[in-house]
Amino acid sequence: MTDRAALLVLADGRFPAGGHAHSGGAEAAVSAGLVRDAAGLEAFCRGRLHTAGLVAAGLAAAAAAGCDPLPLDEAADARTPSPALRRASRRLGRQLLRAARAIWPCGDLDALAAARPRGAHQPVVLGLAARSAGLPALDAAYAAAYESVSGPAGATVRLLRLDPVDAAGVLARLAEDVDRVAARAAGAARRVAAEGVEALPAVSAPLLDISAERHAALPVRLFAS
Amino acid sequence: MTLTAATASRAGRPGPGVHATARIRAVRAGTVTALPVLAGDGPFDLRRGRSDGSQARVCVIGAMSAPLGGDRLRIEVGVEEDAHLRVTSAGATVALRGPTSGHAAYDVRVSVAAGASLQWLPEPLISAARSNLRQTCVVDLAATARLVLREEHVLGRVGEPPGRLSARLTVRRGGRPLLDLESRYGPDAPGWDGPAVLAGHRTAGQILVADPGLDERAPAVRLAGDDPGEGQAVLTPLAGPAFLVSAVAPDLVRLRRLLEAASRIA
């Protein structure tokens, strides 16, 4: 029996997991002049969704489907060449795990916290939290895919003083893409039992990696990543 | 091999596309590396070059006309214990639309055993308009093996948009994942041209260096390229004893300059 409303709780931007401190690469793209308006934000989000978003959705879906989280955590490392992005993902994972253990206590979350005291990758924790909340793999994929664009959209409202209505319009126009990415991620997660973690998507975005390191080297920035 | 000759030689083959597997096996023989298997096939002609010390050298010739849609191409490389091998190619590989609109597959399978090393340094892969290529490169490294691997993608010939390109690079070390990245560009990859992925650049490339010695002396992050319009590169240490240099640029000349600048270890 699925408690579908739990998905709204988990995907809510006000869920206390520290996501508001990160821009998903939007701050670096805005500073570089690559995102100046709603159209630029949409292009940025579309690219992020089909690369980092798809990868995160695959990992989250696999964790929600009951795959062992530790090999998934290794798979996340192999898909994240940027050390700044690995650090950000583990920090967010640690914060999410703390909240999830308090909200949906379960042995699996405790075991992951014990095995990765410095934090597991955020999408893996997200998937396991979804599982603890009684959500299926597809819902976990939706939460990760949506978060991969809602984070940058929210950050860009602050960075560019973009009209929140325009930012919401961008997210609405990406809805079909989010559907496709979540479905593809959940489909890949179903193949992990037979094929291993290499069945999961690994699509990369070179500029997200390069900009993340450029951003991490800045002395002053609004967002942590 | 010219394009015309390649097309003519394809005419006599059954079914659409060429099916070919080339194989290289390198073994240590005293102070040198021997190549007991060096077997070209289809569009792949393998030439042995002059060795450099204990390192054997092979050049892949004639990949120029391949792969076309419908082709199934494969290269298998085994570098056995303590052997050292360098593989290059004589020219760029151009993915073209074939007799069918279906995809071409180009799969590289590599294993590098204990104490052995491989330098895999092919010329760029050019994704021509309306081509459709799925490339996979899977590398299995022993814990004490070393690897230098370069890949460069050129998206479209001059003045044309790219075709569909997917290139997955999967590297395992001691059976565990070390790096797993798919480069996906062109009409099947929404947002590929936008500010999160390539921001209008037409070339992307990476150099992976895996070496157990990096466990003790991991290089620091290094950025190259100050003007984003001219391209950018970064050297990033991976979670294992390896680093990746990744670059994007408007053209191949600037891409290579950036890859070189970022990979130069002080």
Residue B159: CB atoms within 10 A of its CB come to 6
Reading the block at residue B155, the tokens are: 């998206």
CA B250 to chain A, closest CA, distance in angstroms equals: 13
**Does the beta carbon of A24 lie under 8 angstroms from any beta carbon of chain B?**
no
pLDDT number for residue B232: 96
**Does the beta carbon of A175 lie under 8 angstroms from any beta carbon of chain B?**
no
- At residue B68's C-alpha, the angle toward residues B62 and B69, to 5°, is 160
pLDDT number for residue A14: 87
Number of domains forming the structure of chain B: 1
**3-state SS assignment for residue A64:** helix
- 10 Å CB burial of residue B2 (0-12, 13-18, 19+) is exposed
Decide if B105 is inside a domain. yes
- The band of B266, judged by pLDDT with boundaries at 50, 70 and 90, is very low
CA A142 to chain B, closest CA, distance in angstroms equals: 18
* Best mutation target, B107, B135, B236, to test chain A (most A CBs within 10 A): B236
CB–CB contacts below 8 A, A to B? 132
Decide if B240 is inside a domain. yes
Which residues from B are below 8 Å from A47, CB to CB?
190-192, 194-197
Decide if B116 is inside a domain. yes
Decide if B226 is inside a domain. yes
* Best mutation target, A37, A51, A90, to test chain B (most B CBs within 10 A): A51
- The band of B215, judged by pLDDT with boundaries at 50, 70 and 90, is confident
- The band of B20, judged by pLDDT with boundaries at 50, 70 and 90, is very high
Residues of chain A with pLDDT under 50: none
Decide if B14 is inside a domain. no
pLDDT number for residue B264: 82
**3-state SS assignment for residue A31:** helix
pLDDT (tens digit per residue) in B159-198: 999 999 999 999 999 999 999 999 999 999 999 999 999 9
Decide if B16 is inside a domain. no
CA-CA distance, B137 to B139, in Å (whole number)?
7
pLDDT number for residue B63: 59
Check B178 against A78: CB less than 8 A apart: yes
pLDDT (tens digit per residue) in A66-99: 999 999 999 999 999 999 999 999 999 999 999 9
pLDDT cut 70: percent of chain B above it: 92
Reading the block at residue A151, the tokens are: 């984070």
* Best mutation target, A31, A207, A218, to test chain B (most B CBs within 10 A): A207
Residues 6+ apart with CB under 8 A from B227: none
Q: Among A34, A74, A213, whose Cβ lies nearest the Cβ of B176?
A: A74
Domains of chain A: 5-216 (1.10.4190.10)
DSSP bridge partners of B169? B137, B181
A-contacting residues of B 57-76, CB under 8 Å? Answer: none
Q: What is the DSSP letter of B215?
A: G
pLDDT number for residue B216: 84
CA-CA distance, A152 to A26, in Å (whole number)?
5
pLDDT number for residue B14: 46
**Does the beta carbon of A87 lie under 8 angstroms from any beta carbon of chain B?**
no
**Does the beta carbon of B181 lie under 8 angstroms from any beta carbon of chain A?**
yes
pLDDT (tens digit per residue) in B30-86: 999 999 999 999 889 999 999 999 999 999 997 556 688 889 999 999 999 999 999
In terms of residue numbers, what domain contains B118? Answer: 24-263
Reading the block at residue B107, the tokens are: 């799969």
Average pLDDT value for chain B: 91
Beta strands in chain B (DSSP E): 19-29, 32-39, 45-48, 55-61, 72-79, 84-89, 93-95, 104-112, 117-121, 125-127, 132-141, 146-155, 164-173, 176-185, 203-210, 222-224, 232-237, 242-249
Query: What would the mean pLDDT of B230-239 be, rounded to a whole number?
Result: 97
Decide if B17 is inside a domain. no
pLDDT number for residue B4: 36
The alpha helices in chain B, defined as continuous H runs, are: 3-11, 252-263
Decide if B248 is inside a domain. yes
Residue B143 pLDDT exceeds 90:
yes
Which residues from A are below 8 Å from B241, CB to CB?
none
